[in-house]
Amino acid sequence: MVKRKSEDAQLSTRATNGKTARFAEAAKPTKSAKKSTSTKPTKATTTSAVATKDPTSESLSIQIVTGSYERVLHGFAATVSEHLLKAEPSEEEQKDPTYSDTFLFAAHSSAVRCLGLSAPTEAHKRVLATGSTDERINLYNLSTSPPLVSDKPQLPSLSTSSIIENPRNKELGSLLHHARSVNKLQFPTRGKLFSAADDNTVAISRTRDWTVLSTIKCPIPKAVGRPSGDTAGPGEVPTGVNDFAIHPSMKVMVTVGKGERCMRLWNLVTGKKAGVLNFDKSLLQAAGEGRYSSGEGRKLAWGEDGEEYVVGFERGAVVYGMDSMPKAIIRPSPPTKLHQMRIVPAGDDHSILAISTEDGRIIFYDLKTTVESEKEDEEVPQCAALGQLGGNQAGFSGRIKDFEVLQHKAGAPLIFITGSSDGAVRLWRCNISEILGDAREQAKGAVRQVATSIGTHETGHRITCLVAFVMDGPAEVADDGEDEAQEVAGSDSDDE
């Protein structure tokens, strides 16, 4: 892209000098005008002219990256108008988001299982880590600058979305310290990468040189029956860390694994085990785990203030306090499978948990408030649903494998980005007040519908995981414009 700009700049320079027959109709400028184009003030003029094409002042750019069963890593930028994020935009302001593909390639030799995204660096870049069943962790640099908007014709493509390449998006390499499928990747801090795999280990890598600093080894569970969905070979035991969650203080970590009905607490200061908590049989039944279910934890999430954490199972979840005692039970109604859990930023008084389901919903729960259980034999109360997003009521029935929650500035509405197995990525707008609205009055009745759909993009791949971030970096166009002005000035001096 930079090369194309430099060629266009040279062509325009030749046109002003009268050396190109194609532009013979243009009037030949005087020598004083020619010198003025090569001076430094023109550099600022060129930058400001290009900056006027940058839509960041009136729109919001979001970089979305999806992984799929087809081994494809797909990245595209969604440009959402600021008017579309209003509570009730007018008909003239309701413009659908525009999508621009940034990269699309086969990143692994098998299905992509998980994605991890780091915090932005001083160079306005983010590190993307991808995990797969091929035991590899691939690393990429992603630019946080908004996509380049140009009046020039786009590259030819069979898809409806445009193609915009960013030269700052580069591949860093691969990590090969795991021996089996990678299940979870997370950057808790800017300098550390945590990765969990089916080899029953959680590795801690340093982002400066990607050296493995420590490896937490979980014990191999004893072979007790064959759980449903077991993929272990003959004579082997199903092993692996399904998920882990790190406390906001970076001192405690909780893990759940395959083939065991317990969770493990780890001291990250010493790197040693801090305790084991077995799941009670009656608690598993209350959480929707039947007689023939595996009873293993599948997802974990810490509350926003770190006062409670949630253990997700196949069809329900349990909320634990800091004393490792169950506080509440989460059971979606109607019953369905759970796929992903995220904490929604809601302030100090509330801790909202969002859960994506098999039937295309995202259900919101307040971990601070509970209601009495409908069953008399259950001693643990339940969390009442505050509202739901999508589902059959909204006309969306495909399962949501993964989703992200974004807020580009304080007080702005939340943007939910959902990825479904049918290949559709949907954008939703929702306010915190809309989620928290008359929750107590709605607790006894049907779950109310919240959020508004603002756009859908078809990727054509079966999505397994998804990450997204707001592209709030400086515009790349300004730097390219300065380089273009320097090349124009250099060509003018050579002609003289």
CATH of the domain at 249: 2.130.10.10
Residue at 368: amino acid letter: K
- Domain of 332, in residue numbers: 59-86+94-150+158-224+237-470
Q: Is residue 5 part of a domain?
A: no
Q: Is residue 374 part of a domain?
A: yes
Interatomic CA distance for residues 43 and 330, integer angstroms:
60
3-state secondary structure of 3: helix
* 22 DSSP 8-state letter: G
Q: How many domains does the chain have?
A: 1
| Of 318, 252, 309, residue with least CA distance to 288 | 318
E strands present in 95-191: 98-106, 112-117, 125-132, 137-143, 162-163, 170-175, 182-189
Interatomic CA distance for residues 386 and 448, integer angstroms:
8
279: left (phi > 0), else alpha (psi -120 to 50), else beta? beta
Torsion sign (Cα): 188, 211, 136, 102: positive
Phi and psi (nearest 5°) for 364? -105, 135
> Alpha helices, DSSP H only, in 265-385?
281-286
* 82 DSSP 8-state letter: G
| Cβ(462)–Cβ(68) below 8 Å | yes
Interatomic CA distance for residues 238 and 225, integer angstroms:
10
Q: Is residue 35 part of a domain?
A: no
C-alpha count within 13 angstroms, C-beta hemisphere, residue 312: 23
Residues 6+ apart with CB under 8 A from 315: 287, 288, 289, 331, 332, 335, 336, 337, 338
| Cβ(442)–Cβ(398) below 8 Å | no
At 159 the pLDDT is 60
Which residue shows structure tokens 């014709």? 153
| pLDDT mean by block of 10 residues, the chain; 496 residues | 46 43 38 40 34 53 95 94 72 74 93 94 90 95 81 58 82 94 94 95 95 92 60 69 94 92 93 91 89 88 91 95 91 92 83 93 90 75 89 86 90 92 93 75 66 91 95 66 42 44
| Cβ(273)–Cβ(264) below 8 Å | yes
| Cβ(417)–Cβ(425) below 8 Å | yes
Phi and psi (nearest 5°) for 432? -65, -40
Q: Is residue 146 part of a domain?
A: yes
Q: Is residue 27 part of a domain?
A: no
Interatomic CA distance for residues 393 and 455, integer angstroms:
17
At 224 the pLDDT is 58
Which residue shows structure tokens 């094409």? 53
Interatomic CA distance for residues 423 and 70, integer angstroms:
11
At 87 the pLDDT is 62
Which residue shows structure tokens 């929702």? 430
Interatomic CA distance for residues 296 and 188, integer angstroms:
24
- The pTM for the full model equals 0.80
At 361 the pLDDT is 94
Q: Is residue 325 part of a domain?
A: yes
The CB density around residue 412, as the number of other CB atoms within 10 Å, is: 14
Q: Is residue 67 part of a domain?
A: yes
| Cβ(267)–Cβ(225) below 8 Å | no
Residue at 409: amino acid letter: K
The CB density around residue 249, as the number of other CB atoms within 10 Å, is: 9
Q: Is residue 379 part of a domain?
A: yes
Between helix 2-17 and helix 476-495 the angle, nearest 10°, is: 40
At 244 the pLDDT is 96
